[in-house]
Amino acid sequence: MLIQCVFFLPPGAAPTDEESPTYEKVKNVLDRAPEVLCELEEYAGAGESIRQAISNPKDEGKQTTAWDAVCPLVTKLKSFYDYSSEVETALPELLTALCTESPEVALEKKQALAKQMAEILSFVRQPSTSF
């Protein structure tokens, strides 16, 4: 039999002293989420410049245009990768802190961490973060 529990997490759930170290680490990652999401939504790529350069391999102008378009995008993609690595590092610590007790107890006693888990899940489910 499946029992479904619904918990309402208060918006201002403050971390306990026990939660604080994990909470702060995760908070530092989550604070950047809106900025990263905005950058992802604005990411346009350089497909057309690349196609033109490939189609015209002897045209220096098209090669330069493609290179100039790709270089900043590589930096942007690296920043997305770095952020995903930060999330990947923070998530196990957050899950460990939440999973040391039964789900009901953890959600009741560790509301600030549970709220952060919900925020991470919300972020990764955004359409622009699902490639």
For residue range 22-44, what is the model confidence (pLDDT) as tens digits? Answer: 999 999 999 999 999 999 889 99
Amino acid at 36: V
Domain range for 114 is: 45-129
Task: Quote the CA–CA distance of 37 and 15 in Å, as a whole number.
Answer: 25
For residue 5, tell me if it sits in a domain: no
Residue 5: predicted pLDDT: 44
Task: Quote the CA–CA distance of 35 and 115 in Å, as a whole number.
Answer: 19
Length of the chain: 131
The pair of three-digit structure tokens given for residue 11, joined into one six-digit string: 């918006």
The number of distinct structural domains making up the chain is 1
Query: What would the pLDDT profile of 43-94 be if each residue is shown by its tens digit?
Result: 999 999 999 999 999 999 999 999 999 999 999 999 999 999 999 999 999 9
Taking 3-state DSSP, the helix, strand and coil percentages for the chain, each rounded to the nearest 5, stand at: 70, 0, 30
For residue 109, tell me if it sits in a domain: yes
Where does the pLDDT of residue 130 fall: very low under 50, low under 70, confident under 90, or very high at 90 and above? low
